[in-house]
Amino acid sequence: MFAVVRTGGKQYRVAPGDKIVVEKLDGNAGDKITLGEVLLAGEGSSLKSTNGLTVAAEIVAQAKGDKVTVFKKRRRHNYRRKKGHRQQLTILRIVAIGDHKAERKAAPKAESKGAPAPTADAASKPQAAQKPAAHAKAKAEVERDQQKSGDVAGQPTENPAPDKEAQANPPAQSVDAPDKPAKGKKAAPPKAAAKSPSTKNAAPAKGSAKKKAK
């Protein structure tokens, strides 16, 4: 059911359970008031008589509207006036229209106190955590087997001990024959023999100056 009420010089269409903001009415939060000036009432598409019909409401809170600046000015008269205003308002909750009261909403069902059932994601997390450990263990076993069989790539092998006789008597090299360069290396060019400086183009030595007899 709905109704049209008038309060504070304004009209409001209300229904049980609605909240409206009207001009200030006397009272404190939680007080019950009655709106007796009902202009129209109806239910669905049919209208009902408003004789003796009242609207019961409850004050939710007393509030203030937004600030409004009031500025007055008269040209060429040096007249200016400025002030602010905040309208006093009351928030109402419509309890009932006549015999029709607001329907109470069903309270939400309380959840069971037991622990919630684990979800699919939660169940898969421990398995995901175990996967890296199992993978590392399998990898370590494979590496151990490879080391035992000696098939590991890059595994250093033990160098055989040098022959004592070859170490004691190294092969003699001829003095005349130059050392053969190692494989993969180019032979260094032979060094040129040092030449004595030539005296062909040298300037002639100056003769000693003869002293004239005085």
Query: How far apart are the two ends of the chain, measured CA to CA in Å?
Result: 159
pLDDT value at residue 101: 82
Place of tokens 């919630």: 116
Tally of structural domains, the chain = 1
Find the domain containing 25 and state its range: 2-101
For residues 110-118, average pLDDT: 55
Per-residue confidence (pLDDT) for residue 189, from 0 to 100: 63
The tens digit of pLDDT for each residue in 13-63 reads 999 999 999 999 999 999 999 999 999 999 988 999 999 999 999 999 999
Task: Identify the band that residue 115 occupies on the pLDDT scale cut at 50, 70 and 90.
Answer: low
In this structure, are residues 35 and 16 in contact, taking their beta carbons and an 8 Å threshold?
no
Does the structure show a pLDDT above 80 at 109? no
75: pLDDT strictly greater than 90? yes
3-state secondary structure the chain: CEEEEEECCEEEEECCCCEEEEECCCCCCCCEEEECCEEEEEECCEEECCCCCCEEEEEEEEEEEEEEEEEEEECCCCEEEEEEEEEEEEEEEEEEECCEECCCCCCCCCCCCCCCCCCHHHHHHHHHHHHHHHHHHHHHHHHHHHHHHCCCCCCCCCCCCCCHHHHHCCCCCCCCCCCCCCCCCCCCCCCCCCCCCCCCCCCCCCCCCCCCCC
Q: Which pLDDT does position 138 carry in this prediction? A: 79
Specify if 168 maps to a domain: no
The residue-averaged pLDDT of 58-82 equals 97
Let me know if residue 7 belongs to a domain.
Answer: yes
Asked whether residue 138 is assigned to any structural domain, the reply reads no
Give CA–CA dist 41/49, Å, rounded.
7
- In whole numbers, what is the pLDDT of the chain averaged over residues? 76
Q: Which residue has the higher pLDDT, 177 or 100?
A: 100
In a domain, 122, yes or no: no
* Domain membership flag for residue 95: yes
Average pLDDT on 132-151 reads 72
Whether 206 is in a domain gets the answer no
Q: Is residue 109 part of a domain?
A: no
In a domain, 163, yes or no: no
Number of other CB atoms surrounding residue 92 within 10 Å: 25
Instruction: Copy the structure tokens of residue 105.
Output: 């909403």
